[in-house]
Amino acid sequence: MNDCVFCKIAQGKIPADKIYEDEKFFSFLDINPNNPGHTLIIPKNHYENIYSLPDEILCDIGLLVKKISIAVKQGVNADGINIIMNNDSAAGQIIPHAHFHIIPRFADDGLHHWPGKPYPNKEEASEIAEEIKDSF
């Protein structure tokens, strides 16, 4: 895609702090990290989100997510790792080129998980589970 920032990074047209590159994938530091070492992984080809990622690319990127998570954890001596993929703007996706966030975590780093919103009752949870199962 012509005006996609991540396509441009993958093509070397916009500079980035490269972590990893192969024929199909590119990985680089997030410019606005949640913690030092926050890394992004993208397919070089433009796909907007997980829904449109070909299965083969998704399988390969899964292996890469594992490999780079281990490297980030060791590289910045993190205590843990969050792996996040935002899909659609409602879920916080800003750049419409599929990407995984590898976020190193440190004990007491001040970042908090989203608050839980318990179901009002068991019936509502069961109904929602049915709706999701019916959607496969």
Q: With CB cut-offs between 5 and 8 Å by kind, which of Zn ion, ligand AMP, none does residue 107 bind?
A: none
Which is catalytic among the residues 38, 46, 97, 99?
99
Residue 94 within binding range of ligand AMP, rule CB under 6 A: yes
Residue 92 within binding range of ligand AMP, rule CB under 6 A: yes
Distance CA 86, CA 22 (A): 23
Please report, as a single letter, which amino acid is at residue 86. Answer: N
Selection from 45, 101, 99, 37 nearest residue 73 by Cα:
37
Residue 31 within binding range of ligand AMP, rule CB under 6 A: yes
Task: Give the number of residues in contact with Zn ion, rule: CB under 5 A.
Answer: 6
* One-letter-per-residue 3-state SS of 40-101: EEEECCCCCCHHHCCHHHHHHHHHHHHHHHHHHHHHCCCCEEEEECCCCHHHCCCCCCCCEE
Residue 16 within binding range of ligand AMP, rule CB under 6 A: yes
Site residues (vs Zn ion, CB under 5 A): 1, 4, 6-7, 46, 97
Residue ranges binding ligand AMP (CB under 6 A): 5, 14, 16, 30-32, 86, 92-95
